[in-house]
Structure 1
Amino acid sequence: MLFRNKKGDLSLSITAIVIIVIAFVVLGLSLTLTRTIFKGAEQKLPQALALTELESKPSSENTITIPQEVEIRRKETDKTMNIGYYNKNALPAYGATFTISRCLKGREAVDATLLPEMASISKDVDPSDSTGYSVLITEKGLQAGTYICTIQVVCDANSIPAGSSCPSKAYDEKQFFLNVIA
C-alpha cells in the first residue's frame, strides 16, 4: 500500500489561500484608490467644462474673454454666448457678473436706456482664478450699425456674503465691437 504525503498537500493549500487573500487585498486597495481619484475629479469637473467651452481661456493678460466683435440681430430677443473672467485683483471678486456700461456710435454716446442688457449667474472668483459664464445679451432698441462698447465685471449686491460690501468701481472692463444687424 502506498502512503501519500499529506504534509505537501496541506502546504500547497495554505499557499494558495494566502495568494488569494493577498490578491483580494490588492484589488480592494486599487478600487478604493480609483474611487477616491474620481470623486476628487468629479468636484472639479463643472468648472473645467465651463472653461474648456470658451474660445480662449482667461488669463492675467486677457482677463475677459469676449470675442472682439459680437453680432446681434434686432429681431432676436436674446443672444447666448460664453465669456470667461480671470480675477487679477488681490481680493476675491464676490458676486461677479457682467454688464455693458456704455456704447459709442461714432463719437456719440448711446442713451443708457438703449444699452444692451447682459444676464448671467453671478459667481465668487478668487484672486488669480478664472471661471466661465454663460451670458444672455438682450438688444433694447439700438439702430443697426457698429458700436464700440465697454463690458464690465461688476459686483451683484444680492450675491455677496454677509458682512461684505461691493466695491465702488468695477472689478475689470474691456472694449469690444457690437454689430447690430437689422
Structure 2
Amino acid sequence: MNADRPSLEAAFAPASGRGSGLQGLLPPKRSKVQDLQPEVRKVSDPRQPAVETASSDKPAGDKTKASDTVPGAARNIGVYLPPELLKRVKASVRERDTTYTDLLVEAFDTIADSTISARFSPVAVSAGSGMPRRMRRIRGSAGIQIQLRLDDRQVEWLDEKVVSLRAPSRSGLVSAVFDLYLQGSAG
C-alpha cells in the first residue's frame, strides 16, 4: 500500500455510533404490493373482543379524484381547436354569455349528423389517366386546448359520435361542429 494515500477503509465500514441507537424504532418500509392492499388494523374496545377492520385510507400512489367516483359529476375533458376557430368560439361564448360546453350542446342540437360526417369523408384526388390516387382521409390539425365540463354520459355520447361519424378524434369532431355552427350563425 502506498503511504502517500489515505486508507478509505473507514468510509466503507458499517455504520455505528450515532445512528445505531435509532435502529428498529421506525416501522419497516412498505413494499408496493402492500401499498395496493388495504391496511388491516385491530380496533380495540375494552368491552368488545378485538375486531379487524380495513382502513379507508387510500394508497399513496392512488390519484383517483372524488369527482371521478361520483356518478354524473362533470369533469374536464380537453379538446384542441385551431387558433382561428378558438378566437371565433371565444367571441361567441362571450357574446352569448355561455360556456364552451353549452355552446357545443347547442351546436350538436342544430347541425345534422350527415352534415358533420361529410366533413370527415375522404377526399378523392383526380389522377388524370393511369392509376387512381389513394383517397386521403381528413385529419385533425394542431391546436390550442380548451376544457369542456362533461359528465360520464356526455363523454360516452361524444365518443360514440366520433366512431359513428368517422371523425379522426374527439378534438376533430368538436372542431368541425364548432366550425359548422359558427359559420351558420354568422351568415
Alignment TM-score > 0.5, same fold: no
TM-score normalised per structure 1:
0.24
- Name the larger-Rg structure: 2
TM-score normalised per structure 2:
0.23
Structure with the higher strand share, 1 or 2: 1
Structure with the higher helix share, 1 or 2: 2
